[in-house]
Amino acid sequence: MSELNLILFGPPGAGKGTQADRLREDFQLPHISTGDILRAQVSEGTALGTEAKRFMDAGKLVPDEVIVGMITDRVADGDARDGFLLDGFPRNEHQADALAEALSSLERHLTAALLIEVPDDEIVRRLAGRRVCVKNPSHIYHVDFDPPKHEGVCDQDGSRLLQRDDDREETIRTRLEVYHSQTEPLIGYYDESGLLRRFDGTRGPDEVHAHIRATVATLRLEESL
């Protein structure tokens, strides 16, 4: 079976998490989140985890080379032998270069970069409309798409609903600015290398999933030829 080494990127709120879960099931690929890797290695006290913790405790960003080292270790695991779905990395062109170098050292390469595109105003509408139960944060509503029966009150336990600080419009706009300045240049980077595949994230989750699944299935077929 040919490898499927994929990265998934797009603006915050584009639905990457939903699509990553579905692709993981469709193609039996491990979903590699840099945040999860970082927490696991710090918790396990690995050499890279210990180094990362030193930076985190000092309030500094973990250097790219440490993150790339963790990713390299992870994709070398047995469950990633036939491929992986990387989410949250790379975030800029320098990291993309480092990732390509790391994969080359393993005699592997990226199959595709999957981009979910959603306009800023739609992202703001999606995220700023979320309301979360103060008693159970897993009870989530949306003022437009999934409103509670009574405004501001959780249907399941009657607790108050609130808007999280990171769901406020000004915070979302700031996150989008960071995405546009740092991560968006990856669109041209991967387009030039022929790896970019675009998907319209304004469509429903099922339609987006069907499009991505068909594209990835075609990629796998092409890789096996």
Among the listed residues 74, 125, 130, 197, the single catalytic one is 130
**Marked catalytic residue, from 91, 203, 213, 220:** 91
Clarify whether 125 is annotated catalytic. no
- 164 included as an active-site residue: yes
In the residue annotation, 74 being an active-site residue is answered as no
Is 175 assigned a catalytic role?
A: yes
Residues 161, 132: contact at Cβ < 8 Å?
A: yes
Distance of CA 89 to the CA centre of its chain: 8
- Is 91 known to be catalytic? yes
Copy the structure tokens of residue 42.
């710090």
Catalytic residue among 54, 81, 160, 164: 164
Catalytic site residue from 16, 125, 126, 131 = 16
Distance between CA 10 and CA 38 in Å, rounded? 21
The phi and psi torsions of 43 (rounded to 5 degrees) equal -60, -40
Q: ∠ CA(192), CA(105), CA(27), 5° rounding? A: 70
Q: Which of 175, 198, 203, 220 is catalytic?
A: 175
CA-wise closest residue to 31 among 86, 73, 90, 103: 86
Active site residues: 16, 91, 130, 164, 175
